A = this chain, B = another copy of it.
């Protein structure tokens, strides 16, 4: 269905979408800065993305997403947001940790798992016991659950 893209290329696509924002145009240098990568690496990635129909690209020119590129970037960004949110809001992880883990997990899960996670997040917001404060903040509970957790084979 949708083109196969490596995690690396998805990261580039994601960066392009984030930078482009409303203007729609991106400079290679911004992509390099945003990803902490050298400019030559960006050039190579742009060629790869262009060959897969994800971006409009011509040498020495600005970059913009194609319709396919927009769709794919939106998919990756959505996965990122959902997963990061799950890690921080539900599991109670530090935002920075949640975000960095989401950066990797976003390439590892498909649409179905993401859809289900979205539904679960909506559900949990309505679950009086499980919502924030339920799991995260009631230390009495947490101690109890930490004991139960042994079943799952900690380290």
Complex interface: chain B residues within 8 A of A141 (CB): 123
Per assembly, the copies of the chain total 2
The interface centre, meaning the residue of A97, A111, A145 with most chain B CB atoms within 10 A of its CB, is A145
The answer to whether the Cβ of A82 comes within 8 Å of any Cβ in the partner chain is: yes
Candidates B75, B117, B125, B135; contact of A91 at CB < 8 Å: B117
The answer to whether the Cβ of A101 comes within 8 Å of any Cβ in the partner chain is: yes
Per the CB 8 Å criterion, the residue count for chain A at the interface is 55
Interface on A for B, CB 8 Å cutoff?
71, 74-75, 78, 81-82, 85, 87, 90-93, 97-98, 101, 104-105, 107-113, 115-130, 134-135, 141-142, 144-149, 151-155
Instruction: Known contacts A116-B92, A117-B91, A152-B81; decide if A123 and B111 are in contact (CB<8 Å).
Output: no
